[in-house]
Every structure is written in structure tokens, then in C-alpha cells.
Amino acid sequence: MIKLLTLIVIALAAVTIWRLMRVLELVRDLRNEDEQITDKDNRVNGRLMLWFLVLGMGGMTYFTIDAKKYLLPVAASKHGALTDSYLYINFALIIVVFFITQILLFYFAWKYQHKKGQKAFFYPVDHKLEFIWTIIPAVVLMGLIVYGLKLWINITAPAPKEAMVIEVYGKQFDWTARYSGGDNTLGRSNFKLITDDNQLGVDSLDENGKDDKITRELHLPVGSKVIFKFHSRDVLHSAYFPHLRAQMNCVPGMTTEFFVEPTITTDSMRLITGNPKFDYVLLCNKICGVAHYNMRMKMVIEPADDFKKWYKTQPYVFARPDAAPAVVPADTVKTAQASAQNRKIVASK
């Protein structure tokens, strides 16, 4: 039934357009035209050019003002505040150039439309003008390049030693975070060591890994310095933190990194956005398969005290060495939970 309907609709559309062509043909023949462009065509289309310019510019301006509510809220990272203001400089510049050139373009198309007996101004070249409009963009762009590169060098400068090391680990189709613990060093990991219980393939022989913690939410203390180390175990993913204005690809076989300083807590951002349910998010931004669109992790930026409290509740990568020998493989999960409980008690003492 639907098949039939679909076919009928398609057929009707085709017939309609076919008839439209026929009508246009008849109009043409009635008026005895030979498809040459007449003064009337120029007048009508010239006027439409002006209308398009005015309505288009108006529509775009209206839409832009209206759509401001959708833009990302203020940047929640130190470098993000800088790139945002640079972005606005860029936009200001672009909008000015956009308006000037588009207005000239459509205005000329209307203003200098063809009239019989009129001749165009023969003006094949003017070296002075060309020089001017090569130099001006060159100077402006040099300004942008210098400003942009200064920012870039600033953003990509090596992270300070004290920055907290956090691994962000992507796989089809979720994120895991691994905190490096008291030694601020991640334990070695290898994709060949991945098992059901060791999803990140952390090497249990590496001492550095003993205090690593694995979490399914990303918590960051506000005002801290954080260096993310990105990994993927299967295909490319891209860790995109829109609110931090940060993004980095996760590449199997390679570690990439990004340094950020989060500046606004989740609670403050809820006030700023007026949305009590607001949450930061980590998105996947590189096509990675069927559930690409659903690959994300909640991120929380909070005062250092809250962070510490949360951190204590998170499980270590491995059950404690002293507890390990007693474990039967089938009981691993339970034991891991139990030992996490133990550790909490130990840690809070």
C-alpha cells in the first residue's frame, strides 16, 4: 500500500514538473521569444537581487541573534577563554568583510544591469588597485596569523610537571578514564593484556599501575592543571570537550595528549546557563561506527574537596596484591568490589 502511494506521489511530482515545463514553453512561444535575455528579464532579476540581498541579510541577522541561545556557554578552561575572544575577533572581521562584499556583489548586479545602447566601462586592469587589494588582505592575515600562532604555542606548550595525569581511553562505544594515583604516573598498558577484567590492558607487573584508578565518569578539580593522555584500542575516536574548547584524536598504537586548566565548576555553570540539569560532557567526534552518536561520558568539574571525596570512592585497577592470591577467577568482580570497600575504609583512616 505504502509502496503504491510512494510510487503515485513520485509519478504525480514528475507529471507536475513536466506540465510546468510545458507551460513555460507555451509562455515563451506565445510571447514569441527566442530565449534571448530581454531588458525585462534584467529588471525583474535585478530587483530580485536587491530583495534577496535585503531579505537575506535581514534573515541572517535575525537568525544569528536568535540562535545565540544555542551557542556554547562561556569556556570552562583557561585557554578556552582566550580562544573564544580570538574567535570573536575573527567573527567581527569576517562579518564586516561579508557584509561589504556581498552588498557590493548584489548591488552591482542590480545597479549595472544591461540597458540597450549602453556600453560597459572598458576597464581591464588597474595595477594600483590590485596592489592595494593584495596588500590589505595580506596585512590583515599576517595579524591573524601572528595572534593565532601565539595562542597556539601557548596552548600546546609542554604541560607543567605537577599537572595531574589522566588517561582517557576510547573504545567502541564508550569512554573510560584512568587516574594515575599518588605517583602521578600511569602504569604501562598493552592491548595484548586486555581481558574482561582488565579492559584497558594495564600491566599488573608495573609498579606505577598499582595505584591507578579506573572511573566511568570524569571528575576534575576546578583550578587544577590536568594533562590528558588519549588512547584508543580499536578505531579512531576523538575526545571532544566542547565546554573546555578542547579536542584530541585517540589513535590506536599511539598516545596523544592535551593540557587543560578547568576554571568553572559544574555548579557554577548551572547558574551561568540557568539550567539546573546542565552537565559537562565528553563526546566522541570521529566517526567510529554504528553507535558513534551515543559515545559519551559525563564530566564533572568540582571544588578540590569534593573531588577528593569522589576520588576515594573509585576502584583501583587491580585488587590489592595482598588480597589477590585468595581470589578464585570467577569471583574476581565481587572481590574487586569488596576490596574497593576495604580500601575506602583504609583510606579514610
Distance separating alpha carbons of residues 315 and 173, to the nearest angstrom: 22
Q: Show the site string, 290-309: x = touches another protein by CB under 8 A, - = not.
A: xxxxx-x-------------
List the Cα angle 165/213/304 in 5-degree steps.
60
Query: Would you count residue 288 as binding Cu ion (CB under 5 A)?
Result: yes
Q: How many residues bind another protein (CB under 8 A)?
A: 123
Residue of the chain from 224, 247, 268, 314 that contacts another protein (CB under 8 A): 247
Query: Would you count residue 65 as binding another protein (CB under 8 A)?
Result: no
Question: Stretches 60-68, 174-182, 281-289, 300-308: which one binds Cu ion (CB under 5 A)?
Answer: 281-289
Least distance to Cu ion, CB of residue 223, Å:
30
Residue of the chain from 153, 205, 326, 328 that contacts another protein (CB under 8 A): 153
Cβ within 8 Å of residue 178, ≥6 positions away:
166, 167, 169, 186, 200, 202, 212, 213, 214, 215, 317
Query: Would you count residue 145 as binding another protein (CB under 8 A)?
Result: yes
Query: Would you count residue 349 as binding another protein (CB under 8 A)?
Result: no
Report CA 207 to chain centroid distance, whole Å.
Answer: 37
Least distance to another protein, CB of residue 185, Å:
20
Residue of the chain from 286, 307, 318, 336 that contacts another protein (CB under 8 A): 286
Least distance to another protein, CB of residue 218, Å:
15
Contacts from 41-49 at CB under 8 Å and sequence distance 24+? Answer: 42/113, 42/114, 42/115, 43/113, 45/113, 46/109, 46/110, 46/113, 47/110, 49/106, 49/109, 49/110
Least distance to Cu ion, CB of residue 241, Å:
14
Grid cell for residue 207: 609498579
Residue of the chain from 30, 36, 128, 182 that contacts another protein (CB under 8 A): 36
Q: Which of residues 171-230 bind another protein (CB under 8 A)?
A: 171-172, 190-192, 194, 201, 230
CA dihedral angle for residue 206, residue 208, residue 213, residue 217, rounded to 10 degrees:
-110
Distance separating alpha carbons of residues 316 and 210, to the nearest angstrom: 8
Question: Stretches 14-22, 25-33, 130-138, 277-285: which one binds Cu ion (CB under 5 A)?
Answer: 277-285
Query: Would you count residue 295 as binding Cu ion (CB under 5 A)?
Result: yes
Query: Would you count residue 104 as binding another protein (CB under 8 A)?
Result: yes
Query: Would you count residue 62 as binding another protein (CB under 8 A)?
Result: no
Q: How many residues bind Cu ion (CB under 5 A)?
A: 4
Q: Name the residue with cell 563526546.
A: 283
Question: Stretches 34-42, 143-151, 209-217, 288-296: which one binds Cu ion (CB under 5 A)?
Answer: 288-296
Report the interhelical angle of 332-348 vs 304-312 (nearest 10°): 140
Query: Would you count residue 284 as binding Cu ion (CB under 5 A)?
Result: yes
Distance separating alpha carbons of residues 231 and 224, to the nearest angstrom: 22
DSSP state letters, 119-178: --------HHHHHHHHHHHHHHHHHHHHHHHHHHHHHHSPPPTTSEEEEEEEETTEEEEE
Query: Would you count residue 160 as binding another protein (CB under 8 A)?
Result: no
Grid cell for residue 213: 584508578
Least distance to Cu ion, CB of residue 244, Å:
18
The site for Cu ion (CB under 5 A) is made up of 237, 284, 288, 295
